[in-house]
Amino acid sequence: MIPLALPLCVSAWFLTPEIPNSPTSWPEGIVAPSTQDEFLKKAQDLRGKEAWADLIALAEQETDPQNQSLALSFLAIAKAAGQDFEGSLAALKELQSGGVVLDEALPGLGSPMVEVVNAIYLHCWANFDPAFNRKCWQGLFQEFSDSHYSPIAASRLLMAALKEKKKGEVKKYQEFFENRIQQARDNKNPGAEADLSRRYVDGYLRAYQSNERILELAKSSWAQAWKEASEKYSYDGPTGGVEMDPEMLKARRECEIDTDDAFNTIALATYLHGEPVEEGHPLFEMETTPGVQFEDVTEKIGLSNLRISRVAAADFDLDGDPDLSLCGRLFENRRGKFVEISKDRGLTQVGLGSVFGDYDGDGYLDLLIVKGAFPTLYRNLGKRGKYRFEDVTNASGLDKITMSSSPEGAAWVDFDDDGDLDLYFALYENPMSVGHHDILVENLGDGSFADRSEALGIHKVGPFCGRGVSPCDVDGDGRQEIFVSNYRLQPNFQWKWQDEGFVDASATVGIKGEPQPEGGGYYGHTIGSCWGDVDNDGDFDLFSANLAHPRFIRQGFSNQSMLGIQQANGQFEDQSIQRGIRFQETHSDPALVDIDNDGDLDLSLTCIYEGVPSALFQNDGQGNFQPITFRANAVAFHAWGQTWLDFDGDGFLDVIYASSNGLKALRNTGNDHQYIRIALRCKGKDSSAFGAIVRVTTLEADSPQTWVRQLHNARGTTSQDEPVLHFGLGSYKGKVEVEVRWPDSDRSQKKKLRTGRLYEFKQTIKAK
């Protein structure tokens, strides 16, 4: 059975076990029960089935004096599991009065206190409501404040007091932690001091607050965690950079895995306290000097208080600037400010995500909204229709496409090379860990769609838990492959057209994932993926973002995020470690974009889970990456989707991060580098020209240089960047040659253009 990842709503803080394992030593004088112990067997069986009422009845009816301690323990566990916290505490107190040390193990069970705390914790591991947490933890803290495990309760109660601004209670829990930390320090117990500090800090961060003292403790925890990891893996190098021995890079990766929780903590504590990341700060030392800075303009451009998971950008009204679809909510760009116009333009559905594409070939971008197992298609009525949208889901036959689960990934892609846009849906799990076959929908050319999944081979592999779709013409044969990111430790797909159908070529070219253990059947929790020429060698490389729990990695069955560099023979080689990609547990939605206009592609990664920062990596021109997130002021927490676009028209790419904490818009303040931007207009059935490959070559440089980009419809997990090809040119100011290979033609079209502006490049050669 494939191990399960935690649900996506869980905070990264909980990925490190919140509760220590129960002690395995038993109190003196207690004899371990035999495996034939009837009561213990029955109790453990009922507990495993979560039959709490039956377990309570069994415990209350037990009369054998030899089993009374176990009976009271199981009674306390079952009542806590059923949210009868008073009853649970009463059972614990009776145990204690009978001479049982609650923090110590009982035969066949473990520590009663640990078991009860675990039972309580399961109710609120992802629930940060103050009232509910007080209900869960108040009694335990009051009755057993001397317990080794009382700081767990104190941390949650501190969070509740901070959220409700109860100063007296805040002071009480502050004093509790400060006194305990000082005691641990006096007793020269660094392990206890570190554990208490972490719980103290967590109480603040879960309330989304920080201060100078909390940041001090977070820095100390980080320093201690890195010191311990460095000693464990014999690593004495820097926390950043790639210029070192490969074995040293591997050792640093091990350190990053062990210290990821401490990294998240210092990152959020710094961000919430508002402390600048300057020389001497641990985050500063991890990063390199950024080529650009970012400015938070969320409120300024009208995007405040929007809790959205995914975002798509495109110029739906052909006025020359990018607009936004936030899961179906339409926002018009009005001179750099965004105004919601959904209802005015006929859009009434909001879903999980959305993607623009001209499915009917009339020259206007239509909008697909992914909403459960019933996607909605809106047709753009164009200039004559005042750019309103009409729901054509039923008229197009899309409503007749049967989906056995909800799609997480969706993309427009001309899979059959007939010139019009078809659809691919990556279906997610339902119920948890149960996969489903993906759906491939053909555009019949008359405004209608038909399911071609089974007929074209899509159902020959899987079913898996799909999360993202990223089409790309990987091998340059004029037809796009379809890369699908799969979750739940499952392999990924690379659908390639062959013999009038699709075959999965992922294993052949090396992008399926790494089977783990070696030769085993586990892969990765891949969420999103993206394509781009990372090393400027003229072909397309692949980044796959894996949610990689450290506990799974240490057990040897979880892929980490992979940077597949395409080799001359078309094979891909994972070079994530040697290229400098820092480990983070919850990599989610990746984008390869040139943020500093130096010509090479940088890497942006969102990271889900509360308290986890996004990551921005700067390409050094050789295909190596160094983080610049905090130095560049480009961080967002608990982000999911992202879109890169030039919303202010200054020639530098800005970013909008989608997050349940609130959408965040960051303006790129730029530098003195040059650029050229190409908006394509195909004259075939797909005016948006998705799949076109564009090369830009310098004509007046001493050493001519060529860059290649491909116009992708979607990437990540239903994210869509502004469909304009962006080329940074560094300091070059001369003429360039722009060569476009259109998706519906075997011939290329060339123009000589000047730099420093956006061009609309119209197709003039004949389509196929």
Closest CA to 692 of 656, 633, 745, 655: 745
Distance CA 186, CA 195 (A): 15
Q: Is the pLDDT of residue 94 over 90?
A: yes
Q: Domain boundaries in the chain?
A: 36-102+109-232+271-282, 285-680, 681-764
Query: What H or E segment, with its residue span, contains residue 359?
Result: none
Averaged pLDDT, 203-232: 97
CA angle 729, 735, 737 (to 5 degrees): 85
Task: Give the pLDDT of residue 202.
Answer: 97
Distance CA 699, CA 487 (A): 45
pLDDT confidence band for 483 (50 / 70 / 90): very high
Distance CA 308, CA 645 (A): 17
pLDDT tens for 512-548 read: 999 999 888 999 999 999 999 999 999 999 999 999 9
Task: Give the pLDDT of residue 268.
Answer: 98
Averaged pLDDT of the chain: 93
Distance CA 350, CA 369 (A): 7
Task: Give the pLDDT of residue 685.
Answer: 86
107-111, 379-383, 602-606: least confident range: 107-111
Residue 382 burial (C-beta neighbours within 10 Å; 0-12, 13-18, 19+):
middle
Closest CA to 148 of 183, 186, 107: 183
Averaged pLDDT, 688-701: 96
CATH of 36-102+109-232+271-282, one of 1.10.600, 1.25.40, 3.30.70, 3.40.50: 1.25.40
Task: Give the pLDDT of residue 242.
Answer: 76
Distance CA 312, CA 740 (A): 24
Task: Give the pLDDT of residue 16.
Answer: 34
Q: What are phi and psi of 651, to 5 degrees?
A: 90, 5
Contact predicate 524/546, CB 8 Å: yes
Task: Give the pLDDT of residue 344.
Answer: 97
pLDDT confidence band for 639 (50 / 70 / 90): very high
**Which strands, in side-by-side order, build the sheet including 664-668?**
294-296, 664-668, 654-659, 639-645
Distance CA 529, CA 410 (A): 13
pLDDT tens for 286-319 read: 999 999 999 999 999 999 999 999 999 999 999 9
Q: Is the pLDDT of residue 9 over 50?
A: no
Distance CA 752, CA 762 (A): 14
pLDDT tens for 129-143 read: 999 999 999 999 999
- For 185, 243, 407, 425, 504, the CA distances from 458, given in Å and listed in that order, are 61, 43, 15, 11, 9
Query: What H or E segment, with its residue span, contains residue 734?
Result: none
Averaged pLDDT, 626-644: 98
- For 246, 329, 465, the CA distances from 425, given in Å and listed in that order, are 39, 21, 11
Distance CA 761, CA 707 (A): 17
Tell me the pTM: 0.92
Task: Give the pLDDT of residue 518.
Answer: 85
Structure token digits, residue 317: 């009204």
- Within 10 angstroms of residue 282's Cβ, the number of other Cβ atoms is 19
pLDDT confidence band for 28 (50 / 70 / 90): very low
Averaged pLDDT, 693-702: 96
Averaged pLDDT, 275-279: 95
pLDDT confidence band for 768 (50 / 70 / 90): low
pLDDT tens for 389-441 read: 999 999 999 999 999 999 999 999 999 999 999 999 999 999 999 999 999 99
Angle in degrees, 0-180, between the axes of helices 246-258 and 260-273, rounded to the nearest 10: 70
Task: Give the pLDDT of residue 379.
Answer: 98
Task: Give the pLDDT of residue 15.
Answer: 31
Task: Give the pLDDT of residue 683.
Answer: 86
Type of residue numbered 726: H
Q: Reply yes or no: is the peptide bond before residue 431 cis, omega within 30 of 0.
A: yes
How many helices, marked H, and strands, marked E, lie in the chain?
15, 35
CATH of domain 285-680: 2.130.10.130
Q: Is the pLDDT of residue 12 over 50?
A: no
Give the DSSP letter of residue 743. T
pLDDT tens for 42-81 read: 999 999 999 999 999 999 999 888 899 999 999 999 999 9
Task: Give the pLDDT of residue 82.
Answer: 97
Contact predicate 316/367, CB 8 Å: yes
